[in-house]
Structure 1
């Protein structure tokens, strides 16, 4: 069952007159093609500006906590306050994203995050630097992200034709990687010149720009889906006059849970996400701590420079990987790319834990960055292709829950251990466990089904049909 999207672009757009002048039909199609590209460009542009400011805050807060405390336990709390609230509200935020105007929801969430950052900047600028203030701001920002993230992920398929999703997601990953390359350099310069407070104010300004761009952008509104029996997709019944009765919020929430865990591919993707974020992303949060401890010799330069170099190396790799996915991996099996990237994450974690040379460390971090788009881009695209549009927000809310909980759960273990065990040892152990668990995920019943689907997709692509299989 599909949901009609008012104004949604797609490969089947045709002359609404059903005939007539061929040149007029061609002109109409070209106009529609141009229209979706322009909408996507504006949407991604506004989100990129906002993302840039958020990245500055991310680096500045993490560096501030790392350099002032050098404590794994503090970084654990940073992860908990920054991610757990998002996990707790994401499910409700995703359900809301399937019921209300998604654009308005994104704007409201972004405005709340910006206001919180402005308050923190004002308070810290007045001389208050208590850790609880930072944790409180991280908590509110995380709650805002819990509503914003599922809505943003659900909006993109409304703007992009289905056969262009992987390419657009690849371009989006490349743009984000470019911002990741610029942000640490900018954050390092601003932080070195004025500390954390100016960085916070820049985030407020970029959020205002992003909100302004999004407010001016027309986004198709999602129509409430109705099944063949006349009941809304969320689980509502029918009204007394025989028309479809609107489902309640609770009915939509329950329907989203049933859909998510009844969908084999979605269930498998959630498992793979959990593996990577608990065993790979969480330990990677300790790499700045490894840099501050293991490469503290003054011959390696200033601490802020070293932390900036670490983030630039990682982001440069992401930029290259995102460009490669967008340009050359359109018809590769999404499932196989995800599993291959997960294996590479495990191997690189082990290699990073074994290195004692700064430049090798930076090169391995860059290689890890290259692998990220080969995991994140096909994973996002696969869900966008396979999930029914009317359930998109709720499914991505579950993804947000897994992503938001995965890092804190991992940090509950790795953070305190980092104060008694070398970070390098933790990375080697995490990488080894990642390899074992990823193999298990690939061999599980859901994993075998996913790989079979990937093989069918690859076979169809190699057949030279020029089109992806139905449903992809």
Structure 2
């Protein structure tokens, strides 16, 4: 794909606008449900179950969602998933209006929303390269990252205003409206359907299980993709620790005033927003995306260690902002490399596994770091997490196989390649 792709700017603008509106509604529900359960129950167990029902179905379904994204029309999958999520939210709103507000009803709605998010997310990631020229992928991914970070700043404010002045049911209705708008705008986007040519040994179409196995084998055998997934997963685990533990450190070290906790969240969100903007502005001029990605991960490790050593609150906040920036500067090139490197008919499955990593890795980090935070200081855990991340990256770079694999995808796919490079088996390592 090149920049002569007709109407790509219009398609991308309409698609991102619709997804932004839909994302706002989803995040309003996320915050409103969290606050509602906290206020109504004041139970840590209830909050735990809300996370279980709200996240685990997506992690499980992402595997199959990736297969479906490679077998069916991705645009229709996104529309169908969005419609199902909106329907579940509408049903919850009507039940609560009729007086049915049992916890199981809310948990069931969260599970349905999470299930269809597992279908929608890999389809969205795999569809973007179908409507965006390769040379512009990193810029569009940067813009998308900025939008998501901006929603982290806007959504809590809007959710609080609606929830405080009306009620949680009003938030649900807003989500339904934003979903309808998002679906309507996606219908205006022209998306080609991927035509697959692969068949089984007997000439018959590959089964769902065969597709799933093929996806696992692809990641295992495709050196660049395998190492990117490893780097991404470990970084998410070790970056997940500071993102969850920083409010605890603020409370223990700098005070439990609400404004301090709010400021901490704002600095992190602004950092991620800034990183996305940087990628949107200068991303297309980056000639070595692996160097950018690795540098961002190393910076996140060093800055996380700095978080644990900070004794001044504003220095701590500034370091959190920089960690958020580094994360965005890692995420945009990582996603872009996968979109450029992985064959179109395989992207759904690869991004399905990426979805599992993103959904599971950060909560998994809390299984380890959460209990440790009750025995040791958060400062020491942040120092250890940052040091482990730096040590891990240095170890990976010391492996010749990893260096060779990552070098194959360092340059943008649209960059000219030598004849030797063109003939090399770049997909294997």
| TM-score (normalised: structure 1) | 0.78
| Aligned partner of 2:263 among 309, 326, 345 | 309
Q: Deviations over 1:338-367 (max 9, x none)?
A: 211112222232333344544333322222
Q: Does structure 1 residue 48 correspond to structure 2 residue 24?
A: no
Q: Does structure 1 residue 393 correspond to structure 2 residue 352?
A: no
CA distance 1:119–1:188, shift in 2 (3 Å): same
| Aligned partner of 1:90 among 58, 62, 80 | 62
CA RMSD of aligned residues (A): 3.2
Alignment of 1:275-424 (within 5 A): 275-291=234-250, 296-297=255-256, 300=257, 303=258, 305-330=259-284, 331-355=286-310, 357-424=312-379
Aligned-partner SS, 2:408: helix
Identify the residue that residue 248 of structure 1 maps to in structure 2.
207
Q: Deviations over 1:136-175 (max 9, x none)?
A: 4333222111111110011111111122211222222223
8 A contact 2:227–2:406 mirrored in 1: no
Structure 1: unaligned runs, 5 residues or longer: 1-8, 14-31, 227-231, 239-244
8 A contact 1:184–1:308 mirrored in 2: no
| Aligned partner of 2:397 among 423, 442, 464 | 442
Alignment of 1:173-192 (within 5 A): 173-192=145-164
Q: Does structure 1 residue 431 correspond to structure 2 residue 386?
A: yes
CA distance 1:184–1:369, shift in 2 (3 Å): farther
8 A contact 2:240–2:366 mirrored in 1: no
8 A contact 2:224–2:406 mirrored in 1: no
Q: Distance in 2 between matches of 1:127 and 1:349?
A: 47
**Rg larger in structure:** 1
Aligned-residue offset at 1:263: 0.5
Q: Deviations over 1:362-387 (max 9, x none)?
A: 32222222112211100000001101
Quick check: 53-62 or 125-134, which moved more? 125-134
CA distance 1:159–1:447, shift in 2 (3 Å): same
CA distance 1:195–1:375, shift in 2 (3 Å): farther
Q: Distance in 1 between matches of 2:348 and 2:169?
A: 34
8 A contact 2:224–2:409 mirrored in 1: no
Q: Distance in 2 between matches of 1:292 and 1:136?
A: 33
Structure 2: unaligned runs, 5 residues or longer: none
Q: Distance in 2 between matches of 1:325 and 1:70?
A: 41
Q: Deviations over 1:45-73 (max 9, x none)?
A: 11111112222233344555677888877
Q: Distance in 1 between matches of 2:166 and 2:383?
A: 37
CA distance 1:67–1:236, shift in 2 (3 Å): farther
Quick check: 98-107 or 359-368, which moved more? 359-368
8 A contact 1:118–1:204 mirrored in 2: yes
